[in-house]
Chain A
């Protein structure tokens, strides 16, 4: 089991390195560069001297591999280059905002789980009854609705029309409610569908009849047998969809004025502040990779068939 974890970590490191090369390489190949933008935005003249001076200052005059290597070294020391837009090291610009993004992601994630598990289970147990149809209908809408539109509608209804919640995210604790609902509900729709599918599949398995024949009550069967058996598939989904959650934070942060790294990155894009964007991309990638690693490790604990190395049928 330890060996598998080690393998996984190694491959994940390779993946991160590959991605960093990709993103860094892309910025290198592009015609315009942060220095040009900086010069334009400051209204300075575009003469070769100034360009050269600034390039040297920010280290853009060196060859690709050297730049990449310097950057990579910096990464391991927690430095991600210098943000031209915010005029501070990228790590500083992002560091203070990272907790906010994580707070939002966790909050939305909890809401997703709180909504989707009960509804998913209900939907599966009362399959084809009215409760099931209603839940399926709502989750169908949930997967089809653009999350940002939901957010805007919420703002319109709750902040503008009714005035019970603040428009911008940061003035009070109430600020987290709407972004959480926006992210949490749209994510939950996917989960509800998946949980239902997995449980329905389990409910058709023979062991359910076996348990029933021994007199085990329906409630026991659902919570002590079907749910644990469904957990494996559900956790897989949890890991994979976390990426979507992270991506969603970017838009939601922008709409609700939430001061996290997503909105920082949004500000960096028109400014062509590539170091910051890279730092953002790398951080998100890292978080996602860690989450998936945890998911993989948890398999070992959940399914005894994996733990005890059963040969696949």
Chain B
């Protein structure tokens, strides 16, 4: 029997195009950050005293800041920190949250209720405020930032994976696997997690975007990596003081944050669209 090949609908094609573009740029930006030293035109920490507050030019692509540092290079290196933290935090949060959530959903019972109560407790609180308070308590620096951000955002993944697991758990094919003699562990690994992971991919990319915003916010408030390490949010807070003379100090770091977040959100949205062909449902 021949399988009929349905031509891809226009909207599906559009979704694939969006995905490919987003993926391409995501990889590009990660490359920029990883190989910042190869792309940067200057040393991000070097101050050029005769070129302070200069507008963008061929030497200084994005202009210079108040003590003569090249903004373009600083942005590239800043990306390194921001993307690093965003990826690491997302990784930790996703791994931990998915593990806990899946376990809770799978095992059920008292274990589940206790865990969920605990999550409720953590979630009953504005996350950003908690993060800021935590950072102010334990201090700044990359490891502390990673710790603080991780502690406050794993609950989302726990909840989502738990509900996904619950919805699959009662499916007949799980029962069949059990009847066939599969151990609980095998069921978890072979059936449940592979079915849960794709939907979670959407959340993972969304999380990266969110963390980028959080990191920039924290560094804007002076709670990020200590200066003179370049960081986008902090560059914005510096730019605020020189708005009159050097608006490019404000424009470029902010634009970069925006574009990065757009790319990861686009990735997340397009994956969701591709997986749920029914309708773009955000």
Contacts and interface: CB of A to CB of B under 8 A. Distances in A.
On whether A and B touch (CB less than 8 Å), the answer reads yes
B189 interface: no
Interface residues of B, number: 43
A251 interface: yes
Interface string B206-246: 00010001001100111100000000010010011001100
Nearest to A273: B136
A148 B236 contact: yes
Interface string A286-299: 00110010000000
A200 interface: yes
Interface string B101-139: 000000000000000010011001111111011101110
B93 to A, nearest CB: 17
Given A149-B254, A200-B279, A274-B137, A19 B121 contact: yes
A148 B217 contact: yes
A247 B254 contact: no
A288 B262 contact: no
A246 B129 CA distance: 8
Interface residues of A, number: 54
B136 A251 contact: no
A179 to B, nearest CB: 14
A55 interface: no
Nearest to B139: A30
A156 B243 CA distance: 7
Given A143-B265, A193-B282, A266 B221 contact: yes
A85 interface: no
The prevalent SS among residues of A at the interface is: helix
A148 B220 contact: yes
A152 B250 contact: yes
Given A26-B138, A244-B126, A288-B125, A281 B216 contact: no
A168 to B, nearest CB: 12
A277 interface: yes
Interface in A243-276: 243-244, 246-248, 250-251, 254-255, 265-266, 268-270, 272, 274
Interface string B178-216: 000000000000000000000000000000010001001
A156 B247 contact: yes
26 contacts: A15-B121, A19-B121, A26-B138, A141-B262, A145-B261, A146-B254, A148-B217, A148-B220, A149-B254, A149-B257, A152-B239, A153-B250, A156-B243, A197-B282, A200-B281, A201-B281, A243-B125, A244-B126, A250-B132, A250-B221, A251-B220, A269-B136, A272-B136, A280-B133, A281-B129, A288-B124
Interface of A: 11-12, 14-15, 18-19, 23, 26-27, 30, 140-141, 143-146, 148-149, 152-153, 155-156, 160, 193-194, 196-197, 200-201, 204, 243-244, 246-248, 250-251, 254-255, 265-266, 268-270, 272, 274, 277, 280-281, 284-285, 288-289, 292
Interface of B: 117, 120-121, 124-130, 132-134, 136-138, 209, 213, 216-217, 220-223, 233, 236, 239-240, 243-244, 247, 250, 254, 257-258, 261-262, 265-266, 269, 279, 281-282
